[in-house]
Structure 1
Amino acid sequence: MKEIAKENKMGVMPIPKLLMTMSLPMVISMLVQALYNVVDSMFVAQLNENALTAVSLAFPIQNLMISILTGTGVGINALLSRSLGEKKFDKANQVAMHGLLLAGCSYLIFLILGIFGSHAFFAVQTQDAQILGYGTDYMRIICICGFGISFQVILERLLQSTGRTMYSMVTQSVGALTNIVLDPIMIFGLFGFPRLEVAGAALATVTGQTVAAILALTFNIKRNHELRFSFRDFSVSGRIIREIYSVGIPSIIMASIGSVMTFGMNKILIAFTSTATAVFGVYFKIQSFVFMPVFGLNNGMVPIIAYNYGARKNKRIMETIRDSVFVAVAIMLAGLAVFQLMPDKLLGIFNASEEMMSIGEPALRIISVSFLLAGFNIVSSSIFQALGHGVLSLIVSVVRQLFVLLPVAFLFSRTAGLQAIWWSFPIAELVAFALCAAFLRKIKRTKIDPLGQNH
């Protein structure tokens, strides 16, 4: 028993139980995040459709912020878990401190973008004065007050890296619930608060993020005993930053590609009608209920694979992969069923007009066909990252979103009309599936099998 106590649970606990204990808190917190996404837009939609469109057009910038932070977090996560697996505790502490430094640097980038780029970003997309005004206010607040999300994401990754996903769940949930409570108060001016409309939605968001960051910092200091935060022993190391970003940069670019894709898709759709852009924004909010639990599963899976790779336990790695794919596919099939059977109910949440219903119902049904393959693709990309092959995830993402999805959507917009554009999603997912399957076979042969059959 003493021997087991010495090793982190990621090296000894049975995989199904470990995956559940690591992932379930993350899945719950991701579902709360998804709920916040939907509630945010639901309240904004009560103002008018232009308000919903403005928030939809701001999504690429919000996604870019999250992409840079979560990508950096993936690099920190993989390096920290591997260092713990190799029993290099001093290095793990250095990695954690570099995480805080990089969070601060990320915030400065978006502070500058918020001050100088908000109006220009919306002016490129629309000439509608109301959408332009709403959107500029929203983006400015999100970026200038982005210190909350910057530190929240990195501090939560530190908790996840050491297997303390329960605390990470609490911070995300408290942050999202703060946002949900403040949304109607700040948007509509309840309880004597001034009516801020779309700016109120942004203010509620950044307040929730700041609360979560403070809570995550507290948990790391008080409860994360495997890491020691000390500025006295800290010195900036180019080598550690390079190691973090060797995994992190492909992940950042991969997630940022989503911003490019969304921006491009918004441009294609708004040429038909701003309602089509609102439908696309609503789809992104609702699909988060399906995708977020899979991302939560991945957040639990990545440190398990990284730790056991450091500890050379290949059977545990393969069992983790098999279980993760099974659960991800099951979640996606449930999501597919909901999108096929009740698209009208989903759109109704957002105060949908008749035009929005007529565009949205077939859109949700067509796009959700891509869910059949998406679960496998998402898990595969995270496996590549956990084993230090983030560049393979990057290739899949670039091909799926930039080489297939956007060009096919543009081609269909010119030749077959608005409804055909939605078919670009299943087509892109099919191409990604073929790539993921090929890369996963190669990774198994070259990285996992040579670890040997011990343990």
Structure 2
Amino acid sequence: YGTIAVAGFGIASRVESFSQIVLIAISASIGPFVGQNWGAKKYLRVHQALRLSFLFCLFWGVLVTVILAATAPWLASLFNSNPEVITITATYLVIVPISYAGAGVILVASSTFNALGKPLPSVVMMVTRMVVLYIPLAYLGSHLFGVNGIFAAACISNVAVGLGAYIWNQKTCNIKTVSALEKKSVSAGIGQL
């Protein structure tokens, strides 16, 4: 797609990085919190922290989507004066942020699985997002819709894997499992007295 598309994507990537700092911070902090509380058998705390983290990812994703969609052309014009570059950047900033909540959920779920000593789900999520979904969808999307198809592929990949990550995480750390583990932990503690 040439230097115009590369420039537009480069600008959008910089804005995207800045807007996702909060999600990266949450994923960096949830891992130690989950690991410590899971190890201390405080499963309900883990469940509550994950619930709040996922809700925050949803809130942040919606907020950033609205802000970027409303200001996309203006933001793009701060970095470049070429109308074509501005159009590509603005298009990216309208399409891809729709999936930021999903991307946040992926980050939180991945950090959680790693903290629980289960790195395989994190690997599966990343491979699924990039290799199984994004690359084929970007290839197909670029042929059908041009550069917008590539942006849509990123969005679809983040949303699909975000939903899968949420479900997988909930099955691993669900409230029924948590309650059973806490009861077992309490019973074991009483038996030691």
TM-score by length of 1: 0.38
1:335 and 2:53 are equivalent in the alignment: no
1:393: which partner in 2? Answer: 122
1:438: which partner in 2? Answer: 167
Question: Which of 82, 92, 113 is residue 363 of structure 1 equivalent to?
Answer: 92
CA distance 1:324–1:434, shift in 2 (3 Å)? closer
1:320 and 2:49 are equivalent in the alignment: yes
1:294 and 2:23 are equivalent in the alignment: yes
Q: Is the 1:302–1:386 Cα contact (8 Å) retained in structure 2?
A: yes
1:451: which partner in 2? Answer: 181
**Residue identity in the other structure for 1:440:** N
1:142: which partner in 2? Answer: none
Provide the rounded CA distance (Å) in 2 between the counterparts of 1:296 and 1:430: 20
List aligned pairs for 1:112-151, cutoff 5 A. Answer: none
Provide the rounded CA distance (Å) in 1 between the counterparts of 2:23 and 2:144: 35
> Which structure ranks higher in relative contact order (CA pairs < 8 Å, sequence separation ≥ 6)?
2
**Residue identity in the other structure for 1:283:** A
Is the radius of gyration larger for structure 1 or structure 2?
1
Provide the rounded CA distance (Å) in 2 between the counterparts of 1:413 and 1:294: 28
**Residue identity in the other structure for 1:341:** A
Provide the rounded CA distance (Å) in 1 between the counterparts of 2:112 and 2:87: 39
Structure 2, unpaired ranges of 5+: none
Q: Is the 2:129–2:157 Cα contact (8 Å) retained in structure 1?
A: yes
Shift of 1:374: 2.6
**Residue identity in the other structure for 1:451:** L
Instruction: Report the 3-state secondary structure (helix = DSSP H, G, I; strand = E; otherwise coil) of the residue aligned with 2:19.
Output: helix
Provide the rounded CA distance (Å) in 2 between the counterparts of 1:411 and 1:343: 26
Structure (1 or 2) with the greater helix fraction: 2
CA root-mean-square deviation: 2.1
- 1:44-89 CA distances to partner (integer Å, 9 max, x unpaired)? xxxxxxxxxxxxxxxxxxxxxxxxxxxxxxxxxxxxxxxxxxxxxx
Shift of 1:323: 1.7
Q: Is the 1:336–1:372 Cα contact (8 Å) retained in structure 2?
A: no
Shift of 1:296: 0.8
Instruction: Report the 3-state secondary structure (helix = DSSP H, G, I; strand = E; otherwise coil) of the residue aligned with 1:406.
Output: helix
Shift of 1:351: 2.5
Provide the rounded CA distance (Å) in 2 between the counterparts of 1:330 and 1:435: 19
Q: Is the 1:396–1:432 Cα contact (8 Å) retained in structure 2?
A: yes
- 1:135-189 CA distances to partner (integer Å, 9 max, x unpaired)? xxxxxxxxxxxxxxxxxxxxxxxxxxxxxxxxxxxxxxxxxxxxxxxxxxxxxxx
Shift of 1:372: 4.1
2:150: which partner in 1? Answer: 421
Question: Which of 379, 384, 394 is residue 108 of structure 2 equivalent to?
Answer: 379
1:285 and 2:18 are equivalent in the alignment: no
CA distance 1:416–1:327, shift in 2 (3 Å)? closer
List aligned pairs for 1:152-301, cutoff 5 A. Answer: 272-301=1-30
Instruction: Report the 3-state secondary structure (helix = DSSP H, G, I; strand = E; otherwise coil) of the residue aligned with 1:388.
Output: coil
Structure 1, unpaired ranges of 5+: 1-271
- 1:104-154 CA distances to partner (integer Å, 9 max, x unpaired)? xxxxxxxxxxxxxxxxxxxxxxxxxxxxxxxxxxxxxxxxxxxxxxxxxxx
Shift of 1:376: 2.5
Shift of 1:419: 2.4
Provide the rounded CA distance (Å) in 2 between the counterparts of 1:361 and 1:345: 8
Shift of 1:314: 0.9
Provide the rounded CA distance (Å) in 2 between the counterparts of 1:422 and 1:337: 17
Same amino acid, percent of matched pairs: 23
Provide the rounded CA distance (Å) in 1 between the counterparts of 2:156 and 2:57: 20
- 1:301-333 CA distances to partner (integer Å, 9 max, x unpaired)? 211111111111111111211121222222222
